[in-house]
Chains A and B, each alone.
Chain A
Amino acid sequence: EVQLLESGGGLRQTGESQRLSCAASGFTFSSYAMSWVRQAPGKGLEWVSVIGGSGSRTYYGDSVRGRFTISRDNSRSTLYLQMNSLRDDDTALYYCAKGSSGSYFSVFDYWGQGIQVTVSS
């Protein structure tokens, strides 16, 4: 059974940093692309970033490029999102999502339950 468990959320002040983790199990982690998708309170889904299965390719949404860094540790089956220079509008529920293949453009076939990040000035 595929499981994705996010951790590392919480309350931060504007300008601070935070690192999210997503522990994966139930599949061969290194074979699949992984993404972060966020959802602000009462809003729709916003894609944040994707990393290919090998970790060599990464892409970012315009609102986070240059501030956030996605990475993965295939030996630990764990996905990370390093978030720097946090802004109020980064406040959201952050989901870890598994790609259906190793390609960065594969669809999101499993999602974690999400972790709340709140940024306050």
Chain B
Amino acid sequence: QSVLTQPPSASGTPGQRVAISCSGASSNIGNNIVSWYKQLPGTAPKLLLYSTNQRPSGVPDRFSGSKSGTSASLAISGLQFEDEADYYCGAWDDSLNGWVFGGGTKLTVL
């Protein structure tokens, strides 16, 4: 049981917009930076977004994030086949004094 809650799966067709939610609490998402990670099969995770909606260099602006209260969301517009991957949200938790992750969302591009 993960501290942050994500839907286990999401899907879309090329060109569509897809959103992945991440629900937490005041001790984590509500009070700290949310980050998102993309993991392709058999590879290490890669930072996708941080500070809710900041992108590291090289990440296309098709990826965007938002946060409201104790929930955050990752949106992918203009969906491409290369976006098919597992996506994880993460945040520091002030009560646990540690990092917490969502269980991950497997995105399928149909």
Residues of chain A having any CB pair with chain B under 8 Å: 35, 37, 44-47, 50, 59-62, 95, 100, 104-105, 107-114
Considering the complex, give the chain B residue whose CB is closest to the CB of A104: B92
Q: Are B44 and A111 in contact (CB under 8 A)?
A: yes
Judge whether A111 and B45 touch: CB under 8 Å: yes
A59 to B94, CA, bound (A): 12
In angstroms, Cα B106 to Cα A3, docked, is 27
Q: Are A44 and B88 in contact (CB under 8 A)?
A: yes
Chain B contact residue count (CB 8 A cutoff): 27
1/0 per position for B56-97, CB-CB distance to A under 8 A? 100000000000000000000000000000101010100011
CB nearest to B33 among chain A residues = A107
B→A interface (CB under 8 Å):
2, 32-33, 35, 37, 39, 43-47, 50-51, 56, 86, 88, 90, 92, 96-104
In the bound complex, do residue B90 and residue A45 qualify as a contact, i.e. CB atoms below 8 Å apart?
yes
Q: How far is the CA of A108 from the CA of B100 in the complex (A)?
A: 12
Nearest-Cβ distance from residue A34 to partner chain B, whole angstroms:
12
Shortest Cβ-Cβ A-B pairs, 7 listed: A47-B99, A105-B92, A107-B35, A111-B44, A44-B104, A107-B50, A45-B101
Contacts A95-B44, A107-B35, A111-B45: A44 and B99 contacting too (C-beta < 8 A)?
no
Other-chain residue from A46, A50, A111, A113 in contact with B101 (beta carbon distance below 8 A): A46
SS of A interface (majority): strand
Cα distance A45–B97 in the bound complex, in angstroms: 17
**Which B residues are in CB contact (< 8 Å) with A111?**
44-46
Report A5 CB to chain B, min CB distance, Å.
12
Nearest chain B CB to A50 CB, angstrom units:
7
Q: Contact check: which of B44, B47, B56 meets A113 at CB < 8 Å?
A: B44
Least CB distance from B100 to A in Å reads: 7
A108 to B92, CA, bound (A): 11
Q: Shortest CB–CB separation between residue A73 and chain B, in angstroms?
A: 23
